[in-house]
Structure 1
Amino acid sequence: MVAGICAGALAAVVLAVGSGDGAGGYSMRTDARFAPPGAFVRSAALTYDTELVPAAAWIEVEQRMTSGGATSVRLRVAGMRAGHRYGVHVHEKPCGADPDAAGGHYQHEASSAAHHVTAENEIWLDFTADERGAGEARARHSWGFRQGEASSVVLHEKPGSKGGRVGCFTVPFGWAA
């Protein structure tokens, strides 16, 4: 197991190769505290709407991948707006000061057709924050990410594929070989 601190002072990553489900699997867990773009102390997690994603709210993303390429992604958060329903998806590019920097949703079968914007073709991690602002979601698929094409988790103001981008977390996702 290898542990380290990301470029941002407010993010930690733990990677384990060969210790996922079955020989040669992959496991990764990373967490951070949200900060506004341009904050003095930089973070891999950015808030674009401090009403819905308060500065210092916490996010954790975990990925497990079997040697066969099946992938599970788990999201946990704390400090969000209590009772709010969030849409969350894996996106193609890393986060940036501009909410659109993360690009579009990662899709297993890449397409701009509306019938491909589904929880079966994308990683959807929608959740409703409880009375303390905590939430959790998990997605499982028989497929894995393509190298370099899944780079962040974006929080949207509404569940499903709707709503503006209110937060973003750059994540070092592993890919299927």
Structure 2
Amino acid sequence: MRRSIAFAAVVLCALGLVAQPAAAHSSEPLPVVEVVSYQPSDSGAEAVTYDPSLVPVGATAVVVSVPVSVGTVVALQVRGLEPNREYGAHVHVGSCGPDPMTAGPHFQNVPDPVTPSTDPAYANPENEVWLDLTTNALGIGKAASTVSWRFDGRPAASLVLHEHHTHTAPGEAGTAGSRLACASVPFRDVP
């Protein structure tokens, strides 16, 4: 569900991820806020789990994307995941579906001409949105990423939770293991 810029500001501040988002002017893009509950992968839901042992049905996520003066802040808070565990999360170009690969590759500000992209010149946290997190004993985790660019209506349609934190070495840069869950999120930044 989409909410107002005021709600986005409250969420980001409550998560302790940013002090204050960009001011809302008529020409400024509005934030994107999605609150999701993961459902079985064959349910047709907007948020699905592919591995219920690590992302249980009913686990929740809040995804916020806010244009700021320096680019874009994307924040994630999850609840109900496996406790005390590392997860990776990235913005992907496609929407979610029953097949984990439906979401396509990571969104890249400057696309790598080679796919899949594992070149650190393209697969890095400045060119992609990386939201690696570690859950606490209650299965709650949060992460934020600030990038110096905006989505500007380009295809960026989901947030995928991965098996572990993101690798950075050549030949494996940007990889984070299996796709555990997916939430369709319309990342846009178009006023």
TM bin, normalised by shorter chain, reads 0.7 to 0.9
Match of 1:167 among 170, 178, 181: 181
Greater strand proportion: 1
Counterpart of 2:77 in structure 1 is: 76
Q: How does 1:130-169 map to 2 (within 5 A)?
A: 130-160=136-166, 161-169=175-183
Length-normalised TM-score, structure 1: 0.84
Distance in 2 of aligned mates of 1:69 and 1:175: 13
Whether the 8 Å contact between 2:31 and 2:189 is mirrored in structure 1 is no
**Aligned residue for 2:40?**
36
3-state SS of the aligned residue for 1:14?
A: coil
* 1:147 CA displacement: 1.6
1:78–1:135 CA contact under 8 A, matched in 2: yes
Moved more, 76-85 or 22-31: 22-31
- Aligned pairs for 1:1-177 (under 5 A) are 12-16=1-5, 21-22=22-23, 23=25, 24-25=27-28, 26-39=30-43, 42-66=44-68, 70-111=71-112, 112=114, 114-115=119-120, 116-160=122-166, 161-175=175-189
Which consecutive unaligned segments of at least 5 residues does structure 2 have? 10-20, 167-174
Quote the offset at 1:13 in angstroms: 2.1
SS at match of 1:61: strand
Q: TM-score when scaled to structure 2? A: 0.78
Deviation at 1:104, TM superposition (A): 0.1
- Residue by residue over 1:64-112, the C-alpha shift from the partner in whole angstroms, topping out at 9 and shown as x without a partner, is 113x671100000000000110010000000010000000000011003
Count of aligned pairs: 162
Mapped partners of 1:93, 1:146: distance in 2 = 16
- Residue identity (%): 33
Secondary structure in 1 matching 2:102? helix
Residues 61 and 76 of structure 1 are in contact (CA less than 8 Å); yes or no, is this contact kept in structure 2?
yes
Give the C-alpha shift of residue 16 in structure 1. Answer: 4.2
**In 1: Cα distance, 2:188 partner to 2:63 partner:** 12
Output the amino acid matched with 1:83. N
